[in-house]
Amino acid sequence: MRIVAGTWRGRTLKSPTWEGLRPTSDRLRETLFNILGPSIRGARVLDGYAGTGAIGLEALSRGAAQVTFVEKDARAVKLIETNLAALGGDAKPVIIRAGLAEAIARLGHAAFDLIILDPPYGDTAAAEALDAVQPAAGAASRVVVEHAARYPPPAERGGLRLTRTVTAGDSALSFYEP
């Protein structure tokens, strides 16, 4: 895994050494950030189900103002911390070790410009992730859910409307707006 573009372009990230964590591929991350384009600059980003932190780190590399990582696995939190330390820089991200719904409750009424969710693949995973994150989606938020291409995403959920889905192999990215 590597950072695709931005300040840390080409820098290698540590990968998990255990089973059960499925990092977003470099190709899919590149597709995601090409679609988001310059809107990432200055954005407040929530990286839900952060895993290795690759999505949030890519956002920071491309100029996000602030990233909040949410991950419940202690090993993955340690991996995010290791990757952040290796990259250096002035970024002061927030890392919350909790499930997504609990983390959103802890954040109170914080709204994010961009929310990127990569829940474990399952037939209802996208809908459940959208439900959990709904309180953090403001009037101008964009929400992106990575999911298995074989499981169609909900057209609407919790005030969020599906605007686009991009498929790449077994994975898909679904884009939502209020």
- One-letter amino acid at 53 equals G
* 28: three-class secondary structure by DSSP: helix
Domain boundaries 26-177, corresponding CATH code: 3.40.50.150
Task: List, for residues 123-162, the tens digit of each pLDDT value.
Answer: 999 999 999 999 999 899 999 999 999 999 999 998 899 9
* 151: three-class secondary structure by DSSP: coil
pTM for the full predicted model: 0.91
Q: Which residues have CB under 8 Å from 11's CB, separation 6+? A: 2, 3, 61, 86, 87
Task: List, for residues 17-51, the tens digit of each pLDDT value.
Answer: 766 666 667 788 889 999 999 999 999 999 999 98
All structural domains of the chain with their residue ranges: 26-177
**d(Cα 62, Cα 175) in Å, to the nearest integer?**
19
What string of DSSP letters covers 82-117?
HHHHHH-SS---EEEES-HHHHHHHHTT--EEEEEE
Q: Which residues have CB under 8 Å from 12's CB, separation 6+? A: 1, 2
